[in-house]
Amino acid sequence: MKRFSLSRYLSIVRKEIIQIKRDRPSLGIALIMPIMLLFLFGYAVNTDVDHIRTAVWDQSKSQQSRELISSFVHTEYFDAAVYAESYHELEAMIDNGTVDAAIIIPPDYAHRLDNHEQADVQLFINGSDPNIARTASANAMLTLQNKAIRMQETRMEKEGMGKLEQPIELQSRVLFNPNMESIVFNIPGLIGLIMQNVTMILTAFSLVREKERGTMEQLIVTPIRPLELMLGKITPYVFIGFISFTIVLTLGIFWFGVPLKGSFLLLLTLSILFLISTLTLGIFFSTIAKTQLQAMQLAFAFILPSVLLSGFMFPRDTMPVVIQWIGGLVPLTYFLEILRGIFLKGVDATALWQDITGMVVFFSLILTVAILRFRKKME
Amino acid sequence: MSMAIQCENLTKRFGPRVAVNNLSIEIPKGSIYGFLGPNGSGKSTTIRMLCGLLVPTSGTGTVLGFDVMTQSEEIKQRIGYMSQKFSLYEDLTVEENLDFYAGIYGIDGPHRKKRKEELIAMAGLTGRETQLAGSLSGGWKQRLALSCALLHEPELLILDEPTAGVDPVSRRIFWDVIHDLAKKGITILVTTHYMDEAQTCDWIGFIFFGNLLAQGTPQDLIRQLEVQNLEDVFVTLVQQEEQRLAAIQPGTKGAAQ
């Protein structure tokens, strides 16, 4: 009587499968929405700053000034988008967002260079997005320095002093993502984020729907146990989520060209653990909410913290410890480490044991809380 | 005579509101007990406490010998329950609903097949096995719900307004089934607003504002109150109670209209 009954569990599974099959639109959403979201965000979430729209006010109008502009453009960080003729014009363009940077070359630029005097070039940057501002100023600085060194070199060669030797040079090597493309970093995270939110909503509705339709009343006068009911409801969605995950993963690898360094199989295995956790989280919301609308609101309220605290947007290491703990309440936090670890670093399960344990603990906790919250009673 | 349901001073409060007040009833095994009373008088609350859906605030009760406070799961295994509202899955067919509840009650193999056949025949649902439950008319729905409640051969059947909104022919068929079940020894607790239905019950309990006002066989009640029929019993009891309440708290009107 108190034991887990396989017959009751399987009855729930069978019933859910029939209901899912009859509810084609919902099934369609579960399978197609992740793909659509991946395409949408895969292109939108791009933290690479390049081709900054730049206004140029070239007062020198000389060969030297044109060379300077083209060396800026060559970096691909700057696009000489517009030419301006006054400070007033430049400021107006930065104000209304036409450009994010402006280069001002003074009238005496060529003249001063010819006379071996120091020439000044001015750069305006829209600092409201610090990310753009940092990239723009760092690259402008680098471009100018390189240019200055080259000029110095030619000058010294002309004077017969030989090649300029730099005393120190940095030899850096970027591991895992050598081109530092943000897409390689973002797509795996995006896959996790999308799968968490889509699957969570699937089960968030399931118990509440039964409450709303009145079928719950009949169900709770039977000997069904909460664990049987919840696992039975989750099981079919694990399969749907798994199919969806596999599709999205394949798209990430082949369409977005994110190389998978580690084991595909390990990633799929751990994705099942992740899906079970997010689906149970949805069930937990279902035990709190009284209507489908409330369930939806709870699920949405969860999305923002999972974007901001899981490490999807910002690195967790720099967050205050308390915030890091709160981030531990989001299953995506663990799965992000797993996804990025396997995708980018190609690590195996031993390197991920902390996150795997974290996810198992999270799943067990949330399932326990959901079972305790679910009373076979009416309110 | 052994009792299927026995409760003493059963009370349920929702906040300050008393839904059921010191209710004591005894229902002998194998009898049909009709529970009467105006809407909102506490009938459904009482039934839900007996089914283990609600925890009583105070009082004691046993259903089939099990304590309603502590043994609600044992009770659930042995009773059949049908709520006021149709509460089966409308997007499942007749047979799928039966299969689902058979699985929930652990009925498998040839026994399941046999029970399903018996119940489909009993409910007159032959030929409608593959029809979606949601597309059945009111009377069929009620009989399907009854079939699901009977799958596990419960000793006690609890029906909350099973025939509300059902046409007279379906009502008659439904009650024929109820009487057949009682003859087989199943105890039945049923609430209703139809006096012709109440007339055929072995026992009647009359509840108003959470209080049990009268209890007995239909004939006894008619005789005691010196009226013509059960409908008069109903009206007389409501009026008496309202007068009594008005005498205690002048200006207070009952809500039985």
- Chain A residues with CB under 8 Å of B116 CB are none
Which residues does chain B have within 8 Å of residue A217's beta carbon, measured at their own beta carbons?
A: 53, 83, 85, 87
- pLDDT for A195: 94
A25 has a chain B CB within 8 A of its CB: no
Q: Which of B71, B69, B65, B21 minimizes the C-alpha distance to B46?
A: B21
User: Which domains, and CATH codes, for chain B?
Assistant: 31-52+72-256 (3.40.50.300)
pLDDT band of residue B67 (cuts 50, 70, 90) is very high
Could you give the CA distance from residue A292 to residue A295 in angstroms, rounded to a whole number?
A: 5
Report the SS3 class of residue B189: strand
The residue from A140, A175, A210 where one domain ends is: A175
To which residue do tokens 């005691």 refer? B224
Residues from chain B that touch A25, judged by Cβ atoms under 8 A, are none
Nearest CB neighbour to A222, from listed B48, B96, B105: B105
Instruction: Return the pLDDT at A182.
Output: 80
Q: Is residue A317 part of a domain?
A: yes
User: Considering CB atoms only, which of B76, B91, B148 is closest to A223?
Assistant: B76
d(CA B134, CA B92): 8
Domain membership of residue A4 (yes or no) is: no
Together in a domain, A169 and A288: no
Predicted pLDDT of residue B251:
54
How far, in Å, CA of A93 to CA of A165, rounded? 42
Residue A30 within any structural domain of the chain: no
In a 3-state reduction of DSSP, which class is residue A268? helix
pLDDT of residue A379: 65
- Out of A14, A19, A223, whose CB is closest to B73? A223
Q: Which of the residues B104, B142, B156 would you substitute to probe the A interface, choosing the one with the greatest number of A C-beta atoms within 10 Å?
A: B104
Same domain, A193 and A341: yes
Question: What is the DSSP pairing of strand B58-63 with strand B3-14?
Answer: antiparallel
Q: Which of B87, B98, B144 to mutate to test the interface with A (most CBs of A within 10 A)?
A: B87
A377 has a chain B CB within 8 A of its CB: yes
Same domain, A144 and A199: no
- Contacts with B148 from chain A: Cβ below 8 Å: 218
Do A223 and B86 count as a contact with CB atoms less than 8 A apart?
A: no
Q: What does the pLDDT read at residue A360?
A: 96
Q: Touching check for B86 and chain A: CB below 8 Å?
A: yes
Q: Do residue A114 and residue A151 come from a single domain?
A: yes
Q: With respect to residue A21, please indicate whether it lies within any of the assigned structural domains.
A: no
Cβ neighbours for A56, distance < 8 A, ≥ 6 positions apart? A69, A80, A82, A83, A84, A102, A103, A105
In this structure, the answer to whether residues A119 and A192 fall within a common structural domain is: no
State which amino acid sits at residue A132: I
B181-240 residues touching A, CB cutoff 8 A: none
The answer to the question of residue A29 being in a domain is no
From the CB of residue B243, how many other CB atoms can be counted at a distance below 10 Å?
Answer: 11
Q: Is residue A75 part of a domain?
A: yes
Domain that holds residue A106: 52-175
% of residues, chain B, pLDDT over 70: 96
Q: Are residues A158 and A70 in the same domain?
A: yes
Interface test with B, best of A5, A8, A15 (most B CBs within 10 A): A15
Q: Tell me: the pLDDT tens digits for B72-109?
A: 889 999 999 998 888 999 999 999 999 999 999 999 99
Nearest to B104 among A2, A11, A216 (CB): A11
Set of chain B residues whose Cβ sits within 8 Å of the Cβ of A22: 91
Which amino acid belongs to residue A110? A
Q: Which of A124, A158, A175 lies at the terminal end of a domain, its last residue?
A: A175
A116 touches chain B (CB under 8 A): no
| Same domain assignment for residues A232 and A352 | yes
Asked if the Cβ–Cβ distance from A378 to B53 is below 8 Å, we say yes
Count structural domains, chain A.
Answer: 2
Q: A178 vs chain B: nearest CA distance in angstroms?
A: 54
List pLDDT tens digits, range B11-40: 999 989 999 999 999 999 999 999 998 888
Instruction: Find, in chain A, the residue whose alpha carbon is nearest to that of B15.
Output: A379
Model pTM?
A: 0.83
**Looking at residue A171, which CATH number applies to its domain?**
3.40.1710.10
Specify if A335 maps to a domain. Answer: yes
Residue A19, domain member (yes or no) = no
Residues A8-66 have pLDDT tens digits of: 999 999 999 999 999 998 888 889 999 999 999 888 877 778 888 999 999 999 998 99
Q: Do A378 and B48 touch (CB under 8 A)?
A: yes
Q: pLDDT tens across B206-257, in order?
A: 998 888 888 999 999 899 888 888 888 888 888 888 888 888 876 544 444 3
A213: chain B residues, CB-CB within 8 Å: 87, 90
Q: Tell me, yes or no, if B66 comes closer than 8 A to chain A by beta carbon.
A: no
Q: Are residues A212 and A316 in the same domain?
A: yes
**CB < 8 Å from A in window 2-61 of B:** 48, 51-55
Q: What is the pLDDT of residue A176?
A: 77
Nearest-neighbour CA in chain B from A136: distance (Å): 60
Note whether B104 contacts A1, CB cutoff 8 Å: no
Q: Are residues A190 and A171 both part of a single domain? A: no
Q: Which of B244, B9, B54 is nearest to B256 (CA)?
A: B244
**Same-domain check for residues A370 and A226:** yes
- The backbone torsions φ and ψ at residue B38, rounded to the nearest 5 degrees and listed phi first, read -65, 165
H helix or E strand, kind and range, residue A57 = strand A52-58
Picking from A142, A175, A208, the residue at the C-terminal end of a domain is A175
B112 at A interface, C-beta within 8 A: no
Mark whether A168 and A191 lie in a shared domain.
no
Whether residue A212 is found in the same domain as residue A141: no
pLDDT tens, B115-174? 999 999 998 899 999 999 999 988 899 999 999 999 999 999 999 999 888 888 889 989
Q: Residue ranges of chain A with pLDDT lower than 70?
A: 1-2, 180, 379
CB contact under 8 A, A222 and B85: no
CA B68 → CA B49, B58, B230, distances in Å? 7, 11, 31
A375 inside 8 A of chain B by CB: no
Q: Nearest by CB to B87, which of A12, A218, A223?
A: A218
Yes or no: say if A150 and A139 are a contact pair by the CB < 8 Å rule.
no
Beta bridge partners, A138, equal none
Verify whether the Cβ–Cβ distance B54 to A218 is below 8 Å. no
